[in-house]
Amino acid sequence: MTKALGVLLIVTLVVLMAVSGVLLQYVFLYPLFMSFLWMIGGIYFYWHWERHGVRDTSPPKIENPPLVSILIPCFNESRNVAETIAAAARQTYPNFEVIAIDDGSSDTTGEMLDQLTQSYPMLRVAHFRANQGKAMALRMGALVARGEYLVCIDGDAVLDPDATSYMVRLLINSPRVGAVTGNPRIRTRSTLLGKVQVGEFSSIIGLIKRAQRIYGTLHTISGVIAAFRRSALQRCGYWSLDMITDDIDVSWMLQADHWSIQYEPDALCWILMPETFKGLWRQRLRWAQGGAEVYLKQIRTVFQWHRRRMWGLFIEYSMSLAWCLGLVTTVVLWAIGKFVEMPEGLNVPSIQPPVFWGLFLATSCLIQFTVAMVIESRYEKQFLGSIIWVIWYPFFFWIITLITSLVGFPKALFRKRDKRAVWANSDRGVTSCIRP
């Protein structure tokens, strides 16, 4: 029933636009206006929160630092786990423990973790006999953790030494903050796909998070680097076991429960990303499907008055989905119109945009990248050079986003909710295979 409501909402939106003759304008103008909205929000965030930062001097000092538990779920991470644990153990935050959860790995991850406990006194390990999925690993990690604040990273991520201090400071300073998301930085830069993603993560992920912070709600934390207040998670029931993207789900749950989620760009975390088309496709499809699952789950309650805080987020997501469906509908209407005489409102004489629209779209995308990279150059110096490669983004990545959204939504629609989400084999960059 709720799934039908979700579909009905999007389809109605698209049909109304098609009948009133504004579908083509919407398809071209929505990304243009959103791009500038993100830029304005991102610049405001920078102006208000970031420009006076003390990044180059020292991490924030916290009086009487409470115990923080760093949770690291690992599944077949024998190639990366030693580096990940070493980086986590180097935190400048003075009071922390590291809990690695070996989620039934079939390689030597478990043995390696046991050995590492001898080198790192703050390291604790929980082994699962069988693979249970990341959400269960995080749940069990939280269960055996002693800290009220939980920092969660992936088993192949390298945490910056000051990241915990930056994130936990926000949780301590405001009782309203339920979670803090950090700033993932891409390590794998050997192929064209890797290089484009470097720009994408700052432009799309970083700038949008800054803008969303300004209007109050974040679509998602970054699952690879986030900190949580345990009491907020306790109220929401921790991570859902049946959602394909636990990070999007927990973000919506926390915010629906009136917790604020902050973005801390100073909390850096170095991550591996896919560098093959197949790996990228799988990852983006998972993101799209996960977003749709959360949307369909939350639509039951989002219209209630006490959830009004979620309306902005909900409208933004609905409009993005409507954009994907609208673009396809435009092409379909144009194709049908080649053979059948269409009524006035549904007639699409040409799918080629008026000349300036394409120009505005591509230019606004490139301006967005430039703005984001200037802001982000504070965190990574030699990073402006990657603008050469971002020309691919408006042409190639938008199409991937469009197709994965169109494929992911029906997959979410027909997926059984009680089916447990487990780890997928992921591509961590072609170079990770040849690293010593």
Partner 1 sequence: MHPSLIIDQSSTRPVETRRLDGILSALMWLVYLYMVREAFIDLYYIITESFEWMVADYERPHLLAISDLLHTLGFYVIIILSNGAILITWALYNQYRFRGLDRRKNPKPVSVADLAGLYGLPAQDIENWQASRILVMDHHPDGTLVRVISKDGGQILSPPPEEPALMQPAVPW
Site for partner 1 in 49-108 (CB under 8 A): none
Q: Which of 318, 363, 370, 426 lies at the binding interface for partner 1 (CB under 8 A)? A: 363
DSSP state of 305: G
Verify binding: residue 134, partner 1, rule CB under 8 A.
no
Question: Site size for partner 1, by CB under 8 A?
Answer: 83
What are 149's strand-pairing partners? 68, 229
146 binds partner 1 (CB under 8 A): yes
- Using CB under 8 A as the binding rule, whether residue 130 contacts partner 1 is answered as yes
Among 61, 129, 338, 416, binds partner 1 (CB under 8 A): 129
345 or 385: whose CB is closer to partner 1?
385
Site for partner 1 in 164-193 (CB under 8 A): 174-176, 185, 187-192
Binding residues for partner 1 restricted to 307-336, rule: CB under 8 A: none
Show the tokens assigned to 151.
């920092």
Q: Taking the complex as a whole, how short is the minimal distance between the CB of residue 338 and partner 1, in angstroms?
A: 25
Footprint of partner 1 on residues 235-274 (CB under 8 A)? 235-238, 241, 253, 256-257, 268, 270, 272
Binding window for partner 1 (CB under 8 A); candidates: 1-9, 288-296, 340-348, 361-369: 361-369
Length of the chain: 436
Q: How far is the CB of 249 from partner 1 (least distance, A)?
A: 11
Among 41, 223, 274, 279, binds partner 1 (CB under 8 A): 41
- What count of other Cβ atoms lies within 10 Å of the Cβ of residue 351? 14
Minimum distance from residue 145 beta carbon to partner 1 (Å): 7
Question: Structure tokens of 55?
Answer: 């990044």
Residue with tokens 């990852």: 283
CA distance 276 to 283: 11
Would you give the end-to-end CA distance of the chain in angstroms? 52
Q: How far is the CB of 410 from partner 1 (least distance, A)?
A: 26
- For partner 1, the closer of residues 20 and 174 by Cβ is 174
Is 296 within 8 Å of 10 (Cβ atoms)?
Answer: no
Angle between helices 355-376 and 207-215 (to 10 degrees): 90
Cβ contact 361:191 at 8 Å:
no
Pick from 50, 107, 316, 380 the residue near partner 1 by CB under 8 A.
380
The answer to the question of residue 44 lying near partner 1 (CB under 8 A) is yes
Q: Quick check: 151 binds partner 1 (CB under 8 A)?
A: no
Nearest approach, Cβ of residue 139 and partner 1 (Å): 7
**Contacts of partner 1 in 409-428 (CB under 8 A):** 420
Under 8 Å between Cβ of 428 and 273: yes
Residue 64 CB, nearest distance to partner 1 (Å)?
Answer: 13
Q: What are phi and psi of 102, to 5 degrees?
A: -85, 105
Is residue 284 near partner 1 by the rule CB under 8 A? Answer: no
Q: Considering only 55-63, 321-329, 336-344, 354-362, which stretch makes contact with partner 1 by CB under 8 A?
A: 354-362
370 binding partner 1? (CB under 8 A):
no
Q: Is the dihedral of CA 335, 341, 343, 344 positive or negative?
A: positive
Distance CA 334, CA 366 (A): 29
Q: Give the nearest distance from C-beta 82 to partner 1 in angstroms.
A: 15
CB contact at 8 A, 132 and 242: no
Distance CA 29, CA 17 (A): 13
Report 203-232 residues binding partner 1 (CB under 8 A).
Answer: 211, 214-216, 229-232
Using the rule CB under 8 A, give the single segment among 3-11, 39-47, 244-252, 332-340 that binds partner 1. Answer: 39-47
> What span, in angstroms and rounded, lies between the C-alpha atoms of 107 and 77?
8
Q: What is the DSSP letter of 396?
A: I
Tell me, what DSSP letter sits at residue 395?
A: I
Residue 270 pairs in a beta bridge with 158, 185
